[in-house]
Structure 1
Amino acid sequence: MRFRGPSSKFAVVMALPIAALALLTPASISAARAEMARAAPSDNAQAPGAGSVASVNPATGSQKSIASKAVDKVKEVAKSAGDILSRVPCRSPKGGAKTMGSLPHVAAKLVAGKPVVIVAFGSSSTWGAGATSPEFTYPNRLAAQLRRQYPGADITVVNRGKGGEDAPEMMKRLQTEVLDMNPDLVIWQVGTNAVLRNLDPTETAKLVEEGVGRIQAAGADLVLVDPQYSPAVNAKAENASRMVKLLGKVAELRHVGFFPRFEVMRDWHEGQSMPFDSFVVADGLHMNDWGYACFAQLLGDDIIKSVGQIKLGVNVPANVQAYKPM
């Protein structure tokens, strides 16, 4: 996986394709560790743990090769990834899910057998704060799911999450870190830090609508993701409610996809009676490994359903929203 952004280099070290891992050098590992130390989110969120990439055999005293250690790590991660949703199933909100609308650029690329570039754009919950390993962030989980669904496709998920940011800061890097990638799909997670910082939801929505227009003009499909339902966000209940409604309205007016993370997570807590600590870490804000896994699974299901309907020739209205209208 070509995984770029604040966690780019350590994600390359731990990326799932084993062939790529074998090409790493000790120098690149050192650089990755240094970059990881520099790339901590600005809101002081904990970084996903990357673990060690080399070990010493106690019997021989020799250092295990980087490639061998990476293979062991991949096996360990694959087992954990497979187990986590088996222990606690990931269910759609009550009433089921609807297609989020058409994703014509992604569908066209898959049908033509061309590479697909997806950019995950957002703040620390895109970057992966709260995850115990880079593999457990939602962009990596999503990439693995899409590759299982489309095993012959060349799918790249680029992580452009940066902790502590919201629409004002994201707009400043939209061109260089998103549009210059020529993405086929942008998944834009936004609004959480605006709520926490007491920014005006109306002003945030205006910036998001401007960004949506620029992404559409660049020829990319787009899915907006609203704030998470968690104790820290719920402490700003009025702002959170306004933000969620305004982002949904932007998606509806601009005819783009919308993943209602707030309602999905609320259903985990209220509809499925899951305590917050089963999907949110101790800071009361960021998701844990299970939370990211279920979020990625449901988002991936929506993407696959949308692409599948286009490939089958089903006429899907572009303004159909994911799940129930708010």
Structure 2
Amino acid sequence: MAEIINGRELAKQVNQNTSLRIAKLAQRGVQPGIADILVGNDPASRIYSRTKRRKAEQMGIKFMIAQFPESATEQELMRTIEQFNKDETINAILVQAPLPDHLDQVHLINAIDPQKDVDGFHPINVGKLYNKQPGNYPVACTPRGIMKMLEHYDVDLPGKNVVIVGRSILVGRPLQSLMINANATVTIAGRHTKNLSALTRTADILIVAAGQAKMIGANDVKPGAVVIDVGINRTAEGKLIGDVDFDAVKKVASLITPVPGGVGPMTVASMLAQSVDLTEWKINGEE
């Protein structure tokens, strides 16, 4: 039976450390500031933004939500991003996904100052991560949280076979780079991968971020593997479940994340910690 990774408890520890860093910045007269650009009325996005703001403000971070109607134009959003780029009280900028179809998310992300790119999606920061460049730069928050989880639970990475199911810029691609940089042997799979189950059964560490409820069952997992479930799916009854059949796979794995209460809290904690990173790098001249 697998040990269950407690993402909520670990996120509390990360937030406590972040709060200490915020207090030290306050002694220097500095308050980290986050700007969240929210477009439309997607219920999940609105809840997520409110959750981030509540947690940020509890910890002493300034948090602004720039909210736009569904009909907002790209020019309006670009002007707002430029204003936040110039605003010295804002250290971190993010564009909340999903966006309406008429908006180009890549274009908007590319307009964010790379030194304020708290999500780590700007191509300059992605390139630095891919090339394992030295120095300070943000990385995608969910992969950052996953790496912190594995470190906390003493999961050794060098030489391990890692299979990532999902190739998005949010999770799969940056996580692949982080794993390679940690000397793991990495395979990344997607919906076109043939014989996916045969591949996932080779994984010492299996990370699933495909957006398909319960697509991974017990027969898809190597006995003793570490299983990280990034998926968030809502059933007809309103229950949140992951991409992994938790009840079945926990009998096979050695470590497993639940949904909810696994990766999700660590994503938010990582975003808040990274906003403080960006603030510290700025005032210390370490960008």
The normalised TM-score by structure 1 is 0.35
Task: Identify, as 1 or 2, the structure richer in strand.
Answer: 2
Kindly indicate which of the two structures has a greater share of residues assigned to helix: 1
What's the TM-score once normalised by structure 2's chain length?
Answer: 0.38
